[in-house]
Amino acid sequence: MINTQTPLRNKLLILIVDDNEFIRELIKSYLAPEDFTFIEARNGEEAITEYLKNNPDVVLMDVVMPKMNGYQACKKLRELSGSYSLPIIMMTSLKDDKATSDAFDAQATDFISKPISRPLLIHRVSHALHIRDSELQLQAKKSQLAASQEVTGSGYFEYNPITEKVLCSDALYSLLGLEKKDQIISLAEFLLLTQTEDRETVKQAILKAAHEGVAYLLSHKMVGAEGLEYIVQHQTIISPIGKTDRYHLLGTILDITSTKNKDILIEEQQQFDTLTGLPNRQQLEDRLTLWLTQSDQREELFGMFFIGLDRFKNINSSFGHHAADNILKSVANRLRAHENEDLVAARFSGDEFVIIAKQLTSNIDVEAIAQRLKETFAEHFFVEIREVFITISIGIVTCPLIELDEKQVIQNAESAMFQAKRQGRNRHEYYRDEIGNQFNKRLHLETNLRKALDNGEFEVYYQPQVSVHNRRIIGMEALIRWNHPELGLVSPDDFIPIAEETGLIVPIGSWVMESAARQTVTWRDKGFGLLRIGINLSAKQFQGKDLAKEVADVISKTGIMPPSLDLELTESAVMNDIGRTIVILNQLKEMGTQTSMDDFGTGYSSLSYLQQMPLHTLKIDRAFIMNIQPDGSNGEIAKVIIALCHALGLNVVAEGVETEDHMKFLSKHECNEAQGYLFSRPLPAVEMEKLLYSMTTHVEENMTEDFLF
């Protein structure tokens, strides 16, 4: 029973060509009449006529016939049918190889020898129809393909494992920028179009598909005109070839160069920091995992150096993001110079970098690396033509590589880095468990900070500022404290940075300003005189909404005398937008308040700007006071700043005054005021009031006098 049917007819039409009527009748009787209808021809010429008239599904063709023999007729039919899909089965009584090869030369589909056996005939016809159907399907696929390929910019090729030839489509060549037309080439020639390194893979895939019927989907590179590389997606459609155990292979090739390049780019971006080109955090973690899996030496020592650039925010706000980016790039280059097989640098985030090292032999190695890293920064950086020095704080974790926990090690190294910053920066610190606890505290603080203001957990402390000349209290600085319900008193150094990051500093700062102003007015009303109150302003408050209006509101709400209000700004807060700074400072000046430059010497303000700003006071950062020796050494910077203030007509306050030697030095160099533990630590309002009171008992009735230490 033959199942194959053409969709156009109910029964398949068979053209039987034989000059022998008996044979024609025999064939008809062999093939089931329910499946076929028949037309007949007695020679080649008639066969052609019948073909043109009836377009049969199968032709059974005798070889030796008058007028036009079977081979000639077969060839002619092939020309006319224009494709290989018309099955032509030659019926030959010549049982030699020559007959067979002649049949195929004439492009017959198959042959059957006479005398014809019935089962064989049925089988051959059925088989020929099957091939025809596959070919028709293939052709349909090809034309669909051609249409879709025109749209997608892809091409195709066919590989026939029997002939071992490849037919490349026109579109495939033009995809590769080659001008060749459809061409039949050898498989080896075809493989030359693929990139050398992919050639073997492609070859194996094609052979496996053609010999075992395993379809594939590959993406690989091809080489086109002028050696240009194309990334292609290469896929097959396979169909069995007749009775053979081979498969016809139709390969489609799609140019995905641009998408692939994008993928690669995205992949690279996922792995590398775009600014510095260093591996990013993701790759850092991957690298650690890789090292871990490779490591088989239990005792191999691993080290992580977590590097934080000190006060980098100041660079950002003083010179702008562009300059800061350039410095980050230079930093990356300096770190990269340390790299080798066992030492990898990465950018962790903003101004944080990480170095990981393996194959360390002892802690001496670790110290040496930390030392080298610090030395890397001894050289200044350039911002345009200005020299800028940057120091680093390093947090270090070491452990046997085998014991490493990737996530934990990063967290521990980071917390050790924070500890190094707290210890005064420009130093390295090893991770210890208690540091970890502090780090966790920080995370804990972040979640609690939001509720702290509503819960009334903040308190303002006051630290007196005295005249160097006569040690009388001239003013005080308001310093915030957080009474955390579980952790107790939290230092502003621990929570102000978090408040700044989260923006909470704005409402917190407003609260401090108003509370401190109110307290100052209370003390004035109690008769302690006109005290000046220093209020720390964060850059966010300064840059944010209308500062002048907020200050005016506080003045009118609390009744504080404007000259008592001393707003402390840092260099980084004002350098961000110098034009705007000057406008705001002038607004404040018009209201009659005072302004101080806090932590002077740690930022990057330029002298010319300093001159243009309507300031009252410079506060020398305590870093320049604390280390002044009894003989006055280490005091050079303080000396210069004091002289500068005199030259600019500014009041100058020294912070962090802890000893009488400091005072001697300040007195000698005519610093105006001092603030520090020598006189008092910051005190709660009640304590401060006691202090003020105790001072007044020394000073007769005159309450407007300053208070004396």
Residues 676-705 that bind ligand C2E (CB under 6 A): 676-677, 682
479's contact among ligand C2E, Ca ion, none, with CB below 5 to 8 A by partner kind, is ligand C2E
Residue by residue, DSSP assigns 608-653 as HHHHHS--SEEEE-THHHHT--TTSTT-HHHHHHHHHHHHHT-EEE
Nearest approach, Cβ of residue 403 and Ca ion (Å): 43
How far, in whole angstroms, is CA 505 from its chain's centroid? 30
Nearest approach, Cβ of residue 540 and ligand C2E (Å): 8
String marking each residue 82-111 x if it binds ligand C2E according to CB under 6 A: ------------------------------
Rounded distance, CA 396 to CA 303, Å?
7
Which tokens go with 524?
A: 């004035």
Nearest approach, Cβ of residue 622 and Ca ion (Å): 7
Count of residues of this chain found to bind Ca ion when the rule CB under 5 A is applied: 5
Nearest approach, Cβ of residue 675 and ligand C2E (Å): 6
Which tokens go with 372?
A: 């080298």
682's contact among ligand C2E, Ca ion, none, with CB below 5 to 8 A by partner kind, is ligand C2E
Task: Check binding of 492 to ligand C2E (CB under 6 A).
Answer: yes
705's contact among Ca ion, ligand C2E, none, with CB below 5 to 8 A by partner kind, is none
String marking each residue 511-540 x if it binds Ca ion according to CB under 5 A: -------------------------x----
Three-state secondary structure string covering 366-380: HHHHHHHHHHHCCCC
Rounded distance, CA 178 to CA 227, Å?
11
Residue by residue, DSSP assigns 173-205 as HHHTT----SEEEEHHHHHHTB-HHHHHHHHHH
**Region near ligand C2E per CB under 6 A, out of 12-20, 117-125, 605-613, 673-681:** 673-681
Rounded distance, CA 339 to CA 31, Å?
82
Task: Check binding of 598 to ligand C2E (CB under 6 A).
Answer: yes
Name which position in 248, 313, 347, 622 contacts ligand C2E (CB under 6 A).
622
Rounded distance, CA 22 to CA 681, Å?
128
Q: Where are the beta strands (DSSP E) in 526-612?
A: 532-536, 565-570, 594-600
String marking each residue 525-554 x if it binds ligand C2E according to CB under 6 A: -----------x-x----------------
| Among 46, 50, 41, residue whose Cα is nearest residue 17 | 41
Rounded distance, CA 55 to CA 88, Å?
12
458-467 and 472-484 beta bridge pairing: antiparallel
Q: Considering the complex, state which of residue 135 and residue 599 has its C-beta at the smaller distance from Ca ion.
A: 599
The residue at minimum Cβ distance from ligand C2E is 676
Nearest approach, Cβ of residue 279 and ligand C2E (Å): 35
Residues 599-628 that bind Ca ion (CB under 5 A): 599
Rounded distance, CA 345 to CA 331, Å?
11
Q: Are the C-beta atoms of 651 and 616 separated by less than 8 Å?
A: yes
**Region near ligand C2E per CB under 6 A, out of 9-17, 171-179, 294-302, 489-497:** 489-497
**Region near ligand C2E per CB under 6 A, out of 373-381, 525-533, 606-614, 674-682:** 674-682
Task: Check binding of 500 to Ca ion (CB under 5 A).
Answer: no
| Among 401, 417, 411, residue whose Cα is nearest residue 360 | 401
Q: Which whole-number Å values give the CA distances from 453 to 407, 425, 551, in the listed order? A: 33, 30, 20
Task: Check binding of 311 to ligand C2E (CB under 6 A).
Answer: no
493's contact among ligand C2E, Ca ion, none, with CB below 5 to 8 A by partner kind, is ligand C2E
Rounded distance, CA 255 to CA 155, Å?
9
Name which position in 417, 598, 603, 654 contacts Ca ion (CB under 5 A).
598
Q: Considering the complex, state which of residue 482 and residue 707 has its C-beta at the smaller distance from ligand C2E.
A: 482
Q: Where are the beta strands (DSSP E) in 18-99?
A: 36-41, 58-62, 88-92
Q: Considering the complex, state which of residue 366 and residue 513 has its C-beta at the smaller distance from ligand C2E.
A: 513
Contacts with Ca ion by CB under 5 A lie at 536, 568, 598-599, 655
- Point out which residues bind ligand C2E (CB under 6 A): 463, 479-480, 491-493, 496, 505, 509, 512, 536, 538, 598-599, 622, 655-658, 675-677, 682
